[in-house]
């Protein structure tokens, strides 16, 4: 796990919570409307079906909420910028155990309503299964949920043509910024400027630091392409070939740094 060498930017906890709940609601509405045939469709995630992915997506938020019912960890173990590089392998999926997705999402929504509003942002919760490695503040955990929710929203949209689940703007912004900052933490420096308008600009990669004028090494892409690059859904060369990312300058090749998480 690479150390977080960059100062972590601050996130407004209230806005982050609202964004997570808004994105969860978008997904819940879409899942409720899926047909049995659509639920049985394959996804780009190996042998996971749409049903499996929908159940997993509910789990990503339920994990945090359920952690509020457990004893609070004694110490913080995971910084926000370390999370993208951590082992997020979790317990087995429960799509087979909970085939009624509408009931599953309703249960998760009920737990959210009961536990989340009164939980302080500095309360420690365990979000990763490995003992001694997954405790972080609730505020940070909710930022990580924007990545999980936006990423799997994109997976669902890819698996079901025309599904078109929308992205909450604040959720996509937080997701983009966290993954951009993770790149800067992984490859600290100032020789390359990575732009993901309208949400993030970071400098990274060792070398001559740019101070004024047009940077000599610039990478620019849109938020969803950046999300796919950072998580291995899209490869660097493919994104370049498809003109989904532009890269200028001899150092503007991020292929050796991506994906950040998988």
DSSP state of 193: E
Q: What domains sit in the chain, N to C, each tagged with a CATH number?
A: 13-171 (1.20.120.450), 187-248 (3.30.1050.40)
169-186 vs 13-32: helix crossing angle, rounded to 10 = 120
Q: Band of the pLDDT at 7, cuts 50, 70, 90?
A: low
Portion of the chain with pLDDT greater than 70, in percent: 91
Out of 74-78, 89-93, 236-240, pick the least confident: 89-93
Closest CA to 83 of 123, 152, 130: 130
pLDDT above 50 for 65? yes
pLDDT above 50 for 200? yes
Find out whether the peptide bond into 259 is cis, omega within 30 degrees of 0: yes
pLDDT above 90 for 216? no
pLDDT at residue 134, rounded to an integer: 86
The pairing of strands 218-221 and 245-248 is: antiparallel
pLDDT above 80 for 98? no
Q: Band of the pLDDT at 207, cuts 50, 70, 90?
A: confident
Mean local confidence (pLDDT), 37-55 = 95
pLDDT at residue 91, rounded to an integer: 47
Mean local confidence (pLDDT), 10-38 = 97
pLDDT above 90 for 94? no
State the CB neighbour count (10 A cutoff) for residue 11: 21
pLDDT at residue 93, rounded to an integer: 53
pLDDT at residue 3, rounded to an integer: 43
Q: Band of the pLDDT at 23, cuts 50, 70, 90?
A: very high
The pairing of strands 245-248 and 124-126 is: unpaired
Q: Band of the pLDDT at 213, cuts 50, 70, 90?
A: low
Q: Band of the pLDDT at 231, cuts 50, 70, 90?
A: very high
pLDDT at residue 90, rounded to an integer: 53
Mean local confidence (pLDDT), 23-30 = 98
């Amino acid at each position: 796990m690479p150390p977080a060498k960059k100062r972590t930017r601050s996130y407004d906890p209230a806005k982050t919570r609202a964004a997570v709940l808004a994105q969860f609601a978008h997904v819940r509405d879409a899942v409720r409307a899926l047909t049995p045939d659509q639920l049985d469709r394959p996804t780009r995630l190996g042998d996971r079906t749409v049903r499996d992915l929908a159940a997993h997506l509910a789990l990503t938020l339920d994990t945090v909420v359920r952690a509020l019912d457990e004893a609070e960890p004694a110490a913080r173990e995971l910084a926000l910028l370390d999370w993208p590089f951590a082992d997020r392998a979790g317990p087995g999926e429960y799509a087979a155990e909970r085939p009624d997705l509408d009931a599953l999402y309703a249960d998760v929504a009920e737990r959210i309503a009961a536990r989340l509003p009164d939980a302080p942002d500095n309360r420690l919760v365990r979000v990763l299964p490995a003992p001694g490695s997954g405790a972080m503040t609730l505020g940070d955990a909710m930022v990580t949920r924007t990545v999980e929710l936006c990423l799997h929203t994109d997976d669902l949209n890819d698996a079901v043509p025309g599904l078109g689940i929308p992205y909450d703007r604040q959720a996509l912004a937080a997701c983009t910024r966290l993954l951009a900052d993770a790149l800067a933490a992984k490859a600290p420096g100032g020789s390359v400027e990575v732009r993901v308008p309208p949400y993030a600009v970071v400098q990274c990669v060792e070398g001559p630091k740019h101070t004024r004028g047009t940077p000599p090494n610039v990478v620019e892409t849109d938020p969803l392409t950046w999300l796919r690059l950072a998580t291995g859904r899209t490869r660097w060369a493919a994104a370049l070939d498809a003109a989904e990312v532009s890269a200028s300058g001899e150092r503007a090749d991020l292929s050796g740094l991506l994906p950040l998480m998988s």
